[in-house]
Amino acid sequence: MPDQPDTATVVAARAGDQAATDRLIAGYLQLVYTIVGRALEGHADVDDVVQDTMLRVLRNLGGLREPEAFRSWLVAITVRQVRERVRLRRGAPDVLVDADIRDPGADFTDLAITRLELSGQRRETAEATRWLDEDNRELLSLWWLEASGELTRDEIVAALKVTRQHAAVRVQRMKGQLETARVVVRALAAQPSCPDLRLVVADWDGRPTALWRKRIARHTRDCPHCAPAWSGLVAAERLLAGMPLVPLPPPSALGPPIGATSGGGHPPAPGDSAAAHGGGHPAGPGSGGHPAGPGNGAVGHGHSTALGKGAAAKGGGHAAALGKAVAGGVARRVLTAVLASGVVVGGGAMALQQSADPPGPPPAAAALATRAPQPRLSPAAPAVTSAPAPAATSATARPAKKQAPAKKGVSVWKFRGLSAALGDVGAGWYYNWAADNADVPAPDGVEYVPMIWGRDAVTDATLDRARRTGRVLLGFNEPDLPGQADLTVGQALELWPRLERTGLRLGSPAVAHGGDTPGGWLDRFMSGAKAQGRRVDFITLHWYGSDFRPAAVGQFLSYVDAVHRRYGLPVWVTEFGLANFGGTPKYPTGAQQAAFIRGSTAGLQSRRYVERYAWFALPAVGDSAAFGLYRNGSTPTEAGRAYRAAG
């Protein structure tokens, strides 16, 4: 979420301060959009309800008596607007407001699953929300934000206008229905499918309804084949709170701002601009492995009105009033970006980029990119020798050593011209996922950093080679992914003392995703290390983004910022790059790679807490030709030229 304005901003906006009004709308629009989008399940009415809510807030702000209660007041207005839209939809002719008429590209749950690459129980939970009763979807939209720390229980109580005890009962009932819905989703997706369940749903039209939820759930309780679906359900709080944020494209890419067109400030209609059809900018983000690119339905779903058009038709001068209220400010650009793109996502939140190139570190609102398990680019575990070696040294806290002049580094494997390329790219350090650099020697002045890749590398011989080769040691490689180090947190903590005893400065295991997630693999490892008195000198991260637009820079840097805020330790980014693992094209163009490199390296260089970073990878040969930096010792790619100039 963006940093939400303080009470002083509310007071100033109430008094008519234009800049404060801009900050107020920009700071809270995301919260409103999240509540409405989840409560209406991505229905085409979402845009209208958001704009109506913001219009109502601006219209009544002057009468707000308790500025410190602004957020509670805003949430209450949002809930009332959602309920009013549901009431109108129920009472209108079916031909106009069939609740299941949604543009496919606007479906809230589909966007969450597709664009966030949800898998496992997170995917099940997202799909299960379709099965909730309407009232429970409204409550879920609030509780979801409570689970992620964006709302308090008191604010939910105020929005629902019930007692705290009643709210608690309602939340528990909603969670119970959500759990049942998750089981329904599991049972329907099971392979091989249950023959008896196929008979139960033979007449089902495929639409999630309360009646079919109850029928299918009743079957699962009594069926030996389906009953296991009730086992092993992770608490929904952990799943919801761990969803990543999803950014919007820069507002400048979305066409004229509010009030910039003729007609009293009305923005372009969906048929009038490329933004309305998905032309001109690809769909939404894909930080950290999220699918992206044109055509995934996140923009131009045909129902976006871009603030003002719907309000003008229904509310006279409301659109013009809001356009005037935010004319020329950040809020105008943010509102235009959101409502022109029509992005509605199910990750519990949506990040808003308030300007194309904000100075300094990006706001906490930018996307926190987590990457679901993917086919890996990294080399397999290096070979481990078993030659005898002296016993490991006792564990001592090794003081931080002075870093090499350059933060910039690269990950490498053996290829023709390796040493020359290392010298030409200007890297201050490199690594090869192994404990020594026997196969990948470097020119003088380029530091080698060893790694203990996984459990099989935790031997006296390998640890001794690492100790003799380097002065810093990288921990396990992506222990949270099958096919990589693939370690449980308990296994990693059990092995960790042997890494400590090398006496080298020690980096955390490099997780593939979710480094900032409460309860995630890294979070549990760091908590366990603290409880056991284990030493971790810096955090090691990997990141891949599938959004090939300029917004990827902010997505990446925001993730790095979030991880640093969580642990308060220096950060090394030992793999980063752009790759759309689940879509086409899989890799960006050379120009896109170069633009991302320029922006991301500038951001990393400016962050004092970032000690080192390494692009994946130096070789641009064979399978790595699309994303590597050097074809040989003297021929950089377009990305290679940009990386050579960085740092």
Give me the CATH number covering residue 586. 3.20.20.80
Q: In whole angstroms, what is the distance from residue 413 CA to residue 418 CA?
A: 8
Q: How confident is the model at residue 640 (pLDDT cuts 50, 70, 90)?
A: very high
The secondary structure of residue 42, as a DSSP letter, is: T
**What per-residue string of b and e applies to 132-141 under the rule 16 or more CB within 10 Å gives b?**
bebebbbbbb
Q: Are 446 and 423 in contact (CB under 8 A)?
A: yes
Instruction: State both tokens at 435.
Output: 């404990």
Q: What is the pLDDT at residue 280?
A: 31
Residue 149 lies in a domain: yes
Does residue 389 lie within any of the structural domains? no
Statement to judge: residues 473 and 605 lie in one domain: yes
Tell whether 458 and 594 lie within a shared domain: yes
Number of other CB atoms surrounding residue 505 within 10 Å: 20
Check residue 495 and give its pLDDT: 97
pLDDT for 372 equals: 33
Most confident of 46-55, 339-348, 370-379, 536-545: 536-545
- Give the pLDDT band (50/70/90) at residue 510: very high
Give the tens place of pLDDT for each residue, 559-579.
999 999 999 999 999 999 999
In 161-285, alpha helices (H): 164-189, 195-200, 210-222, 236-241, 274-277
Establish if 340 belongs to a structural domain.
Answer: yes
Same domain, 473 and 621: yes
Task: Please give the structure tokens belonging to residue 593.
Answer: 């790679």
Q: Where does the pLDDT of residue 90 fall: very low under 50, low under 70, confident under 90, or very high at 90 and above?
A: low
Domain-located, residue 25: yes
If asked whether residues 618 and 579 sit together in one domain, one would say yes
For tokens 């390296």, the residue is: 601
Do 460 and 583 lie in one domain? The reply is: yes
The CATH number covering residue 282 comes to 1.10.1740.10
Residue 175 belongs to domain spanning: 133-242
Which of 226, 242, 258 finishes a domain?
242
User: How does 276-285 read in b/e, with b if 16+ C-beta sit within 10 Å?
Assistant: bebebbbbbb
Nearest-angstrom CA–CA distance, 453 and 475 = 7
Only one residue has tokens 């990457």, namely 371
User: Given this model, what pLDDT does residue 361 score?
Assistant: 34
The residue among 367, 395, 422 that closes a domain is: 367
Tell me whether residue 127 is in a domain: no
Is 587 a residue whose pLDDT tops 60? yes
Q: What integer pLDDT is reported at residue 119 of this predicted model?
A: 60
Mean pLDDT of 71-83: 84
In percent, how much of the chain has pLDDT > 70? Answer: 66
390 within a domain of the structure (yes/no):
no
3-class secondary structure, 630: strand
pTM over 0.85: no
Residues 221 and 363 in one domain: no
Measured from the Cβ of residue 176, the count of other Cβ atoms closer than 10 Å reads 11
**Is 250 within the bounds of a domain?**
yes
Residue 291 pLDDT > 90? no
Is 214 in the same domain as 251? no
Summarize the confidence of residues 49-60 as an average pLDDT. 83
Whether 506 and 470 share a structural domain: yes
Among candidate residues 476, 462, 461, 457, the one with its CA nearest the CA of residue 378: 476
Which SS3 state, helix, strand or coil, does residue 544 take? Answer: strand
Q: Provide the domain count of the chain.
A: 3
Q: Which of 4-13, 361-370, 384-393, 449-458 has the lowest mean pLDDT?
A: 361-370
- Residue 55, in any domain of the structure: yes
Tokens of 587: 């890799």
Banded pLDDT at 41 (limits 50, 70, 90): low
At 44 the pLDDT is 56
The predicted-structure confidence for 140-192, as pLDDT tens digits, reads as follows: 778 777 766 667 888 888 878 788 888 888 888 888 888 899 899 988 988 88
d(CA 82, CA 382): 56
Mean pLDDT of the chain: 73
**pLDDT of 165:** 81
Token representation of residue 349: 């939140």
For residue 295, give both structure tokens: 């055509």
Residues 182 and 93 in one domain: no
pLDDT of residue 191: 82
Of the pLDDT bands very low, low, confident and very high (cuts 50, 70, 90), residue 247 is very low
Looking at the fold, whether 162 and 105 belong to one and the same domain comes out as: no
What is the pLDDT at residue 535? 95
Exposure b/e, 581-601, CB count within 10 A at least 16 = b: bbbeeebbebebbbbbbebbb
Same domain membership, residue 479 and residue 363: no
Q: Is the dihedral of CA 234, 185, 218, 237 positive or negative?
A: positive
Q: Would the CA dihedral through 264, 270, 273, 278 be positive or negative?
A: positive
CA distance 117 to 370: 10
Judge if 504 and 455 occupy the same domain.
yes
As a whole number of angstroms, the distance between CA 549 and CA 546 comes to 9
Provide the pLDDT for residue 302.
30
pLDDT at 601 over 90: yes
Residue with the larger pLDDT of the pair 483 and 88: 483
What average pLDDT does the segment 471-477 reach?
A: 96
Range in 19-23, 237-241, 380-384 with the lowest mean pLDDT = 380-384
Of 242, 270, 304, which residue sits at a domain end? 242
Q: Are 455 and 485 in contact (CB under 8 A)?
A: yes
Q: In the predicted model, is pLDDT for residue 295 greater than 70?
A: no
